[in-house]
Structure 1
Amino acid sequence: MVKRKIGLVGFGHVGQYLYEFITSRDNLEIAFVWNRTRSVLEDAAVPKHLILESLEDFESHTLNRKCDLIIEVAHPSITKTYGMRFLKHADYMIGSPTALADEDVETGLRELATEGAHGLYIPVGALWGAEDIRRLADAGTLHSLCITMTKHPAAFRLSGRLDELNQTAVESQTATVLYDGGIRALCGLAPNNVNTMAAAAVAAHNLGFDKVRGRLIADPAAEGWHIIRVEATGSKLTNGTQLSVVTERRNPAETGAVTGSATYASFASSVLSAHGKGPGFHIC
């Protein structure tokens, strides 16, 4: 059996889960693991020969241990700095697709993924109906898309005005709308919390980051849950009617957790799907 060799960038909760998943599979193998803090890898007993000291060295490392897929589950800054380099050497799965809200980053990666030898994969994460959204976008019949994410205030990692509003929700113990608008700006304000929205913008490529609407709500009553509501409409028909779809996903989550419990398994499924689709942008 030929094993797919995978480079793992990031060893937080999701990275650790994927490491265990990959090492448990007969058809997958770890090529390297990188984490900003090496001691975390050592504490987890990751074999020394798999630890990549610096991402600057990944090219020389992959010459010795061929890498089929590189997975980022660290921070959107990784894609901005290394995404193009990764994609020149292997398929690349972006676990923090908020990085694509930077137009230059998205344009550069799309061009390379289209013209190069490798594919770029976007995991659906907590997004429900991603494939249906993509099909509507492919047909040019997706008219609007709104993603509403409701979480307990402790689940957010925010700054500036959004953090102030989040504290207001805590103090008042009432649901508070932190943001309502195009998701391009939101990705920069809450890069750790809205990867689901970024994945939706990639799937809804005829609308993109500016026209897909994002609503972020802090609700103290949402303890134990991440609630994601997806509202999509199709183009109006000649008789004035249009397709309308509304879904709500209630993802169990420990209070304060950035990632919902069911999303881990979704990432594992994406790893298995991120294979064999060739060049281009792929939802997985």
Structure 2
Amino acid sequence: MAFSATRPQSSIRVMAEKSKLVKVGVVGYGHLGQYLVERIQREGAAAGLSLAFVWNRNTERLRGSVPQELILEQLSQFTERVVDVIVEVCHPRIVKEFGAQFLSRAHFLALSIRMSKHPSCFRLSGDLLSDWTEGEGRRVLFKGSVADLCPLAPNNVNTMAAAAIAADSLGFAGVTGEIVSDTKLSEFHVVEVEVTGADGFSVTTVRRNPAQAGAVTGNATRGSFWSSLLCCEGHGGRVYLC
């Protein structure tokens, strides 16, 4: 278990030493962050988990839902808390800025889900999808390397990024990513993964994740994060892709 050197005798540390609960910090308080925080508070003790801290860019969103003593006003203050696992469910720039520090203190779970969606579910840079209209049907927004796609759709291409990391012989430049806007997908996000091998061999998987129009995160993704959190046992400097 990782402890803060700056507060060796704090009440937080004393409580953690007396408990076997895994201390979880949640970075981000969108739909997925809210789901995890609420579930940890409701079921965490039975599952061996407790809440170490919650951070959100707008801390006012946390008032009334998160105990004041668990709210981080500044993310850099996470080093003052006893934490075993840090779950990042916000913007990828937070990973860029704080990822190395997170890994020096705790396990770090990275978000990894990308789906073809109703246009209202995408969060894209620039004007890539500013002109969509209901009833237009299917539109391919981008097809190319994941390296080029990630900056265009940082909130929607986590499955692709995870695949690029796992397929280390291909990398981000060698994995092809495609995002599709489809006004018919008002109830699901759809992920299609195709693996092609030698002599024409290929395997294709299709997954449908229930989600309402406008939702960046599908319903089943919340359960996926919860299951991953239950499997994470403590500090080790590892990245988990869920």
The TM-score range, normalised by the shorter chain, is: 0.7 to 0.9
Paired residue secondary structure (2:150): helix
Partner of 1:233: 196
Stretches of structure 2 that go unaligned for 5 or more consecutive residues are: 1-18
Partner of 1:85: 101
Q: Which shifted more, 221-230 or 197-206?
A: 197-206
Quote how far apart the aligned CAs of 1:259 are.
0.9
1:38 to 37, 54, 59: 59
Measured in 2, the distance between the counterparts of 1:5 and 1:81 equals: 22
- 1:4-52 deviation digits (Å, cap 9, x = unpaired): 00111111110011112222122001111111111111132x1111111
Measured in 1, the distance between the counterparts of 2:201 and 2:36 equals: 37
Paired residue secondary structure (1:189): coil
Quote how far apart the aligned CAs of 1:206 are.
2.0
User: Cα RMSD over matched residues?
Assistant: 2.0
Partner of 1:179: 142
Q: TM-score, structure 2 length as denominator?
A: 0.84
Paired residue secondary structure (2:129): helix
Measured in 1, the distance between the counterparts of 2:29 and 2:241 equals: 23
Partner of 2:226: 268
Quote how far apart the aligned CAs of 1:267 are.
1.2
Task: Assess, with a 3 A threshold, how the Cα gap between structure 1 residues 158 and 125 changes in structure 2: closer, same or farther.
Answer: closer
Give the letter for the 1:20 counterpart: E
Give the letter for the 1:258 counterpart: V
Task: Assess, with a 3 A threshold, how the Cα gap between structure 1 residues 33 and 195 changes in structure 2: closer, same or farther.
Answer: same
Q: Is the 8 A contact 1:162 1:179 kept in 2?
A: no
The within-5 A match list for 1:191-230 is 191-230=154-193
Structure showing the higher helix proportion among its residues: 1
- 1:33-80 deviation digits (Å, cap 9, x = unpaired): 111111111132x11111111112221x22xxx211111111111111
Matched, 1:245 2:203: yes
Quote how far apart the aligned CAs of 1:273 are.
2.3
Q: TM-score, structure 1 length as denominator?
A: 0.72
Task: Assess, with a 3 A threshold, how the Cα gap between structure 1 residues 243 and 25 changes in structure 2: closer, same or farther.
Answer: farther
Measured in 1, the distance between the counterparts of 2:204 and 2:210 equals: 20
Paired residue secondary structure (1:268): helix
Q: Is the 8 A contact 2:145 2:177 kept in 1?
A: yes
Partner of 2:68: 48
How many residues are aligned here? 221
Stretches of structure 1 that go unaligned for 5 or more consecutive residues are: 96-123, 127-148
Identity, % of aligned positions: 48
